[in-house]
């Protein structure tokens, strides 16, 4: 069973989040602040952490930084009432994997958690398989049966991200921030060039295709 640690100083909110997670098949542990969370991390095998940003003794930013020192691959979902872009950027810079603002939509939270767990499994294995297609993260290769193609790093990371979450729409900003970094001056043109190169490289591969979602961004889908 997947163990999830919920770090939230509001007792009622913590209980509610744990109840929702239990209803969806997860085992939960609750902590009222960062210090209690670190204590639980030492005692239990935790697969994912959901943490609040504003807490006494140790805020979510500091807790995330400390978690990254000892559990660098642990999926972290930051939940906060702060909605400004600077707060979200700081969250990602200190090491969170995803970010939600309160009030939290329970269904969306579960979907995000499942996506983070799937992503963590892929990252640990360093390989992603879609039908006959295998992406090898270490070698930056994409293979199908006897055909093996090595592609440039940014193209590979872009393809790996899209294929890791079939049918999930990623905005252009999300992709540029994740692949090139938040401080990069990458623009839409650069992203479009990389998408078009990927489409051309794998035009004849039947397993997947990259679709433009008008006004939003891109997603990978399985061909019928």
Q: Say which residue, 119 or 105, is predicted with more confidence.
A: 105
Q: What is the pLDDT of residue 173?
A: 84
Domains delineated in the chain:
3-122 (3.40.50.2300), 126-222 (1.10.10.10)
CA angle 212, 213, 216 (to 5 degrees): 120
Query: What's the pTM?
Result: 0.59
- What pLDDT sits at residue 184? 67
Residue 207 near residue 223 (C-beta atoms within 8 A): yes
- The answer to whether residue 66 scores a pLDDT higher than 80 is yes
More confident residue, 53 or 184: 53
Confidence band of 123 (pLDDT split at 50, 70, 90): low
Q: Does 209 have pLDDT greater than 70?
A: yes
Cis peptide preceding 103, ω within 30 of 0: yes
Sequence-separated (6 or more) residues with CB below 8 Å from residue 217: 169, 170, 171, 172, 174, 175
Q: Is the pLDDT of residue 93 over 90?
A: no
Digit-coded pLDDT (tens) for 158-186: 998 888 878 888 888 888 877 887 656 77
pLDDT digits (tens, 9 = 90+) for 146-164: 999 999 999 998 998 888 8
């Amino acid at each position: 069973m997947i163990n999830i640690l919920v770090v939230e100083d509001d007792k009622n909110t913590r209980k509610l989040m744990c109840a929702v997670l239990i209803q969806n098949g997860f085992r939960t542990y609750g902590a009222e602040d960062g210090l209690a969370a670190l204590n639980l991390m030492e005692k239990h095998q935790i697969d994912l952490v959901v943490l609040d940003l504003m807490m006494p003794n140790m805020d979510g930013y500091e807790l995330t930084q400390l978690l990254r020192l000892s559990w660098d691959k642990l999926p972290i979902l930051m939940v906060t009432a702060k909605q400004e872009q600077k707060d979200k950027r700081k969250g990602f810079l200190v090491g969170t994997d995803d970010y939600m603002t309160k009030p939290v939509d329970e269904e969306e939270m579960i979907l995000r958690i499942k996506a983070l767990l799937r992503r963590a499994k892929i990252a640990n294995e360093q390989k992603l398989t879609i039908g006959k297609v295998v992406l090898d993260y270490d070698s930056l290769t994409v293979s199908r049966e006897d055909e093996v193609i090595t592609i440039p790093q940014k193209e590979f990371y872009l393809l790996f991200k899209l294929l890791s979450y079939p049918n999930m729409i990623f905005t252009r900003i999300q992709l540029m921030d994740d692949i090139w970094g938040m401080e990069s001056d990458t623009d839409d043109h650069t992203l479009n060039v990389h998408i078009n190169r990927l489409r051309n490289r794998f035009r004849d591969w039947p397993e997947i295709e990259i679709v433009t979602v008008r006004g939003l961004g891109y997603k990978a889908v399985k061909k019928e």
